[in-house]
Every structure is written in structure tokens, then in C-alpha cells.
Structure 1
Amino acid sequence: MKINMHEAGANLSKLGERVWHGERVVITKAGKPYLDLVPHKRELKPRRPGRFEGQIKLADDFNEEIKEVTSGFEGDE
């Protein structure tokens, strides 16, 4: 949806609801795209390496090659 700056100011609450529900709104100035109205995304917390240490178990043969699988990718049938 495109809407001019003056109309956007008068209908900001309604536009905000539309954007929040997934609609794209472009605010125009002098008939040209000027602003995109987007919903606020909360900032993600930085990842912390090692927080699952000791909780994940891998089988002893986890890194073993399975010929039936790799030959299909490599064309060695």
C-alpha cells in the first residue's frame, strides 16, 4: 500500500495496525517513495557459545562416512 505523507500522519494508528499484521506500507512524498513503515522487532540477545555444554550427546560413530549416502552425492555408484 502507498500513502502520501499527509494521509499517513492522519491515519498512523490504522497504518500501524496494518503493518503489524504483515501489510507493507510505503509513505510517499511528492508522489515518490519516501519511507517504509515497518514493525519494531525486539533486539535479540547475543549468542553465548557453550551454554549447552555437557547436555548434547553424539554417537561414537557420528563422523563415520556412510558410503551408500556419499556415493550418491559423488556419483561413485
Structure 2
Amino acid sequence: MKARVHVTLKTGVLDPQGEAIRHALGAMGFAGVDAVRQGKLIELDLAETDPKAAEDQVRAMCEKLLANTVIETYTVELE
């Protein structure tokens, strides 16, 4: 089973990388970009075949390692 984890900063947490991207886009002539939030995508290949067990396993991974839950939020997609 494959899992995708999208990790982004929580609303209200400053995103200096997103701001740098926004500024660079403006400098390259891409007008009208008011804000950019960037994050990370983590793809996992799991041996687990039960969707509920796989989601529980991935959420545990996020809570322990993949996301800093103090400042980040995450979503899990299974396929």
C-alpha cells in the first residue's frame, strides 16, 4: 500500500521559505501572487494491506517523526 503525507506549517506560523518564493516569483514577473505557503510531501511504500491499520501506522509515524505537530499539520492519503 502506498501512503502520501502532506506536511505544512500551521496557519499563523511564519513561513520564510514561502515568502522567499513569493518574492522570487514577483521578481521573475509573475504578478498577483499575494502569498505562498510551502510544505513537504513524503511518500511511503507500506507492507500493510489493511487501510485502517495503514492509516493508523502512518499517523503514528507523523506524530513521532514526520511532522513537528507543534508548528505543522499533516494529511494522509492512501492508495
Q: State the TM-score, normalizing by the size of structure 2.
A: 0.20
Greater RCO (CA < 8 Å, at least 6 residues apart)? 2
By percentage of residues, which structure has more helix? Answer: 2
Q: State the TM-score, normalizing by the size of structure 1.
A: 0.20
